[in-house]
Structure 1
Amino acid sequence: MEIILAKSAGYCFGVNQAVEMVEEALLKNEEAIYTLGPLIHNRQVTDELDRRGAHIISDVEGIKNGIIAVRSHGVGEDIMSAIKDGGNRLIDATCPYVKKIHKRVNEYHKKGYQIFIIGDADHPEVIGINGWCNYEGIILGNKNSVPRTAKYDKICVVAQTTMNLGVFHEISQEILRIYPEAVILNTICNATKTRQEETAALAAKADCMVVIGGLHSSNTVKLAEISRAHCKKTLHIETAAELDLNDIKTCDIIGITAGASTPHWIIKEVINKMTKSFEEMLKDSEMEASYEESFRKLGRGSVVAGTVLSASRDEVYLNINYKSDALLTRDEFGEDVEDLSKEVSIGDEIEVMVVNLNDGNGNVVVSKRKMAQKKAAEELYVAFEEKQILEGVVIKSVKGGLIVDLGLGQAFMPASQYHMRYIKDLDSLVGKNVRGEIIEFDKRKNRIIFSQRIVLEREFKEKKAMEAEQKESFIQSVEVGQQLTGPIKSITNFGIFVKIGPIDGFIHVSDLSWKRINHPSDLYKLGDEITAVITEINKEEYKIKMSIKDLTDEPWIEFAKNYKTGMEVDVTITRIAPFGAFARIIDEVEGLIHISELAHEKVDKVESVLKPGDQITVKIIGIDDEKRKISLSLKSMLQEPVKEVEANETVYEDKAENTIGELFGDLFDQE
């Protein structure tokens, strides 16, 4: 029989941190401590903590001036405030990964984004995340739960840290299909992903998989589901007592994994039960060694837990279950400590690193400071191995780059790794927040190289890839004749650009209106929401041409049906030009009254006869259907004035009633 234990089995970083924080509080405080809900999804651990004084409560109401621990799942912003408002001391054991989700959700919520949370609606982590957007988030358990009818201007998507990665991607793709501009944040914990991948690989080669952890623990249940998908004989147990050896006695390879809330001592009990039953003790195996190594020997660099025996200003003596006591000096305790007796009490347990097995007086010399450095270095190395994104602050500039404080330690960031573009003044970056990855970790030289550029470049590529995918999806979904609505993104002399999904639609100035306009800004301004119809699509170049005027019939057609040359029409003067006046006959149809058609006499300036807004009656004297031009005349509506007669000019009035004789009678008489 071969027993294989998954490397990532057992406590994750967040759970381990929560347990350590509460246990430390139990050692230091005589008053009762409360955990808001079970600290972790493991009944054995929570029962033991309750026995020691950490009692579970369902809400903070009625708890005053106490100590309340918030579990690794986290809680809403309102509950954090309620704890403090009650005068209670807060132990915030929220997992750092979950805290980051809270921060991002709160930031995007304040910017007006609708929050989508992918996860289990009843899970405390999801409820806690929702509490950082005023409980207005929409919980999505599968792709069919994505809202399809509601309209959201801005969407931010996050996920429960223990969510199955495949389900997350499936729901995310559905969201992007309906809401192409949604911001997708993959907040699944890397440790969860690693644990699930290791479980799948181990289950594929095992005859039997044993999954250890709470039956109601979300991440453990998922491990059991993954195991069953690859190994038919999968046993989900909480403790060694639940293991039936008959289920495994015929198996050659047994795989073991455990949820993030499963303590190592329970895993060890399960392994011991298997090995003792089959008389195959694994004391010399690597797996057993991983549990017993710290107890078999003690040497430089060993990590031990010691109990305080005595404390003075400069020294603390610890019982480390060794033949000699351990000496912890003020210098090795930590920075800025003036009096050790005020920092520790007799009975306190301190984790330290062995520096020297004999200081000359028989004492083992230990260091809490180096222990903290070792832990920080280990965490940074894990971050390096897992390519985790870390946040830090630039604390100073040096030759060739910057020194960045990552919280756990300092790292060097070459100038070329700060940004994708060259930054000349490095001093101006001091105090700036940065986020990036460790790209080089040399334990021997204690050298850590940090890069923000690698993250920026990857995010830029991901953004471009997503934009390209969104453009492709969008361009394939639209067709000529389809009407779309969007805001005006830019205005030029030759037209306007409209934001329609991930693509800008273009409307030429000639397609804005049936009437002539001088500039698009005469009709629209930036940000205006407009509706237009697609007239052309270039799918290769992702270009769309649109028209607003095509949404209505051409006004000229109406004019041609109802108006003819020679008709008298009422018009309104719209604008004046040196050569005449333009007049509106019907909406978006104008005619020209040439300056020569304003009056019978010569007109020097059009303004002397007409002004914009004047309403007059004119006659249509010409219609050019091909050029869409109309000629109008005002003088045709005016009576032609009588010409003035010169003073010496004789005018004869022809009266039909006069005869020739009456006119020339005297002339004939003279003859």
Structure 2
Amino acid sequence: MLEKAFGLSITGFTCIIFQYFVFRSHDLMEQNDALNGQGAADANPQGEQPQATNNQTMESLLESESINVDLPQVGEIRQGTIASINPTQILVSIGAKSEGVISGRELEQLPPEERAELKVGQQLNVYVINPEDASGNVVLSFKRAQEQMSWDNVESMVSDESVIESTIVGFNKGGLIVLVGGLRGFVPASQISSARRSQVSGETPEERWQKMINEPISVRIIEVDRERRRLILSERAASAESRASIKERVINELQEGMVYPGRVTSLADFGAFVNINGADGLVHLSELSWDRLGHPREILSVGQEVKVKVINIDREKKRIGLSLRALQEDPWKSHMEKFTVGQLVEGVVTRLTKFGAFARLEGDIEGLIHISEISDHRIEHPKEILNEGDVKTLRIIRIEPEQHRIGLSLRKVDSAAFADKDFKMLAQEFRNEISDEFTPPEVHDTSEEQDITPPEEPNKEQ
């Protein structure tokens, strides 16, 4: 930008600024010397030499007249002011060392009507594509900033259950295309209201949907996936009856702990919304399954029929907490049937922390060895005795089924307090081994196959 405006490069411009500060500092120093000399002559009429001081140093000058440069970052959205507009580019001041430029394809993507509305001095949000290209320009995009802010907006609308008034702008073989905040959303045919579907006729998409272009429509967002650029809408969800009044009625009818049938209405990163009797409740990601999930779509899809358990009702905030996991068998409990307090087990140290060490006993079952249970003498950190990967014999000292917690001890492995229990367990194991070793072989009855005629009695004389 400097090359185009003044024929200077960034390096040349920096040199000019530096030289200005040097000359400016030199002039101020001479002025201070003259003033100090005059003051000394007045204060010392007998010709004593004053001690010269120089308060205006180069450092203080730079501090007082420094240029604050806030360097932009890739992907950052900034608010700027339009500095100039011409047919090939738009210059935007964003508080950086040079003005940003919207040009090339980024400028061509602006519709003519939007471009005509832009004025010099107008403030707008821009997206930083490149903080400095080969020509030293900050490359900006107006459309990308609009798009990013639109995705932020629609993501917030999912949890708010907002009803959006919009217009049908297109269609495909599966449904209608509707604009929401600059984004193109899709209304599947199954999510179109019964009143609108009653007007549908014809076999081809054109025959069914073409006449609906530019018609107003009320929709609600049911699924947002920014990475896949997926925005799913529903006209059926934006019913004529007030959703607030429906939810209030349903909340008064629901009971905590009860199980209800429902239908998945939308998916988000943090969980799934399930409609029960006309009101939506949230199944948090942690309540979907006992297994660890990254996203609800791994096990659910919009429209799926499910059974859920009501685990929480907040009548003030009108929120319904649901759970799928509560209806599934807890695998942790079945794993824990083989463990008892006082039992000796073998564990692999998986993680060290300041407060203790975690050890894996079996599968994904882990227990905690508190730092106080590692050694009989005081230690500052478990790493003084343990290392990740160590295989240790440990004693179970606590089991908390509801919290899925197991307390382990290394220092109580040889504790006299558990001697009697250890002896009984060893004796039981010994008896089991003896029983298995000396189990008599299975006897088969073969009397029918053998000759069982008793031998003749010997002659008495013989």
Bucket of the pairwise TM-score, normalised by the shorter protein? 0.3 to 0.5
- What is the TM-score when the length of structure 1 is the normalising length? 0.23
TM-score (norm 2): 0.32
